[in-house]
Amino acid sequence: MLRIVQLSTEEYVRDVLPHSAEMWAGERSFADYAAEFGAVSASGFGRRRFRTLGLSLDGELVTSCKRYQRELRCGERTFRAAGIGAVFTPESARGRGYATAFLGALLDAERANGTDLVYLFSDIHPAFYERLGFVQLPSRAIVLRADTLPHARIPARTLGDDDWPAIERCFAALDATRTFALTRPPLIWEWLRLRARSAESSGVLVRLGIMRGRRLVAYVLGRRFPAVDSFALDEFAYVDDEAAALVPALIRNAAGDLRKVTGWLPPSPARGAIPRGAVRARKNAVAMLLPLSAALTAAWQREAAGVAASAADPCWNGDHV
Ligand SMILES: CC(C)(COP(=O)(O)OP(=O)(O)OC[C@H]1O[C@@H](n2cnc3c(N)ncnc32)[C@H](O)[C@@H]1OP(=O)(O)O)[C@@H](O)C(=O)NCCC(=O)NCCS
């Protein structure tokens, strides 16, 4: 018999992580990978907004995923969103329809529970998820040559862990201008802070900000990868036009002497704060959405054309699950 089951942290670490680590542990040892997963699960975010689920066939786990509880602001309203990540079938069980059956059953359960939409980031051929009804959202990457960014003297300072509240306020000032966005209440920031500490990649974490008096008015988050001469830009924000004008120089500062700046194409209006650069479609982490409720379907119909035609993307890299 096929059954959807909720997996405890211990079950997920025992039954799934040893298989999926090869794909997703990055540069972490298995112990570190499992410890980071444990820390997320045990956090306030983990207890309230994060689940691991699986499909059990006659008691044997045949496929699994992570589920993130978020909210999406779409037009005038905010909707209940479920983010699905780390869909995984062990190699020996692949190609038998388990992931398809699992996701189909999960979508039925979400619909029945009043979830307005499900979203995910596909690393495989998006057709797999399109067959279940998901639609692709614009998912692009941008590359900037660091030497095309202004080399201005700006009073940039490194931000530490004490600066997270200021970062959150700065983000909120910019985010308030968006009509299509995954929202960031305090539990989501808790999760982002945990992720910022992850040892997944060898990149050197960079957090730079600009103060006006005691107020943080702009910040940049990313990682330096000297081996590939590249600064990976994750996110930036600013509180007003004056601060926005400093962002390119702030990114240049964050990149240091690295030649390239790479990242996801930022959402509007942040996209307008950086140069055009070279923009191309992403092959990994293709954002996809499936409206479930009538209310979200109607709201999405009003927003969809604007999202598709925008010169900016709908998500920050930090929204990735
Ligand atoms: C993707 C995955 C979960 C599918 O699990 P599954 O139980 O074999 O899925 P199903 O049997 O329901 O469907 C198989 C379909 O998966 C799709 N698929 C699997 N791997 C794929 C890949 N690397 N690229 C493109 N499509 C892929 C194919 O469309 C395949 O359809 P086909 O049999 O007609 O060729 C499984 O291959 C897996 O765990 N891969 C590694 C982890 C991963 O990449 N997860 C997805 C993250 S977005």
**Parallel, antiparallel, or unpaired: how do β-strands 286-291 and 117-122 relate?**
antiparallel
* Contact of 41 with 16, CB cutoff 8 Å: no
Task: Report yes or no: 171 and 183 within 8 Å, Cβ to Cβ.
Answer: no
Atom index in ligand 1 nearest the CA of residue 122 equals 48
Q: Going residue by residue through the chain, which has 321 residues, state the pLDDT in tens, using 9 for 90 and above.
A: 889 999 999 999 999 999 999 999 999 999 999 999 999 999 999 999 999 999 999 999 999 999 999 999 998 899 999 999 999 999 999 999 999 999 999 999 999 999 999 999 999 999 999 999 999 999 999 999 999 999 888 999 999 999 999 999 999 999 999 999 999 999 999 999 999 989 898 899 999 999 999 999 999 999 999 999 999 999 999 999 999 999 999 999 999 999 999 999 999 999 999 999 999 999 999 999 999 999 999 999 999 999 999 999 999 999 999
Distance between CA atoms of residues 180 and 167, nearest Å: 21
On whether the CB atoms of residues 73 and 181 are closer than 8 A, the answer is: yes
| SS3 state of residue 294 | helix
Which pLDDT score is estimated for 316?
A: 98
- Supply the pLDDT for residue 224: 97
Q: Whose CA is nearest to atom 8 of ligand 1?
A: 94
Query: In whole angstroms, what is the distance from residue 242 CA to residue 248 CA?
Result: 12
The CB density around residue 137, as the number of other CB atoms within 10 Å, is 18
| Residue in 96, 128, 284, 286 to alter for ligand 1 test, most ligand atoms within 8 A of Cβ | 128
Cβ(41)–Cβ(51) below 8 Å: no
In this prediction the pTM is 0.96
Q: Based on C-alpha coordinates, what's the Rg of the chain? A: 20
Nearest atom in ligand 1 to the alpha carbon of residue 127 is 29
Q: Write out the two tokens for 91.
A: 């190699």
Provide the Cα torsion 64, 70, 72, 73; round to 10°: 180
Reduce the DSSP state of residue 66 to 3 states and report it: strand
- pLDDT by residue (tens digit) across 105-134? 999 999 999 999 999 999 999 999 999 999
Please identify, by atom number, the ligand 1 atom nearest to the C-alpha of residue 95: 11
Of the residues 63, 124, 130, which should be mutated to test ligand 1's pocket, given the most ligand atoms within 8 Å of the CB? 124
> What pLDDT does 201 receive?
86
- The pLDDT value recorded for residue 153 is 87
Domains and CATH numbers, the chain: 2-139+283-319 (3.40.630.30), 141-281 (3.40.630.30)
- The whole-number pLDDT of residue 220 equals 98
Give per-residue pLDDT as tens, 29-60.
Answer: 999 999 999 999 999 999 999 999 999 999 99
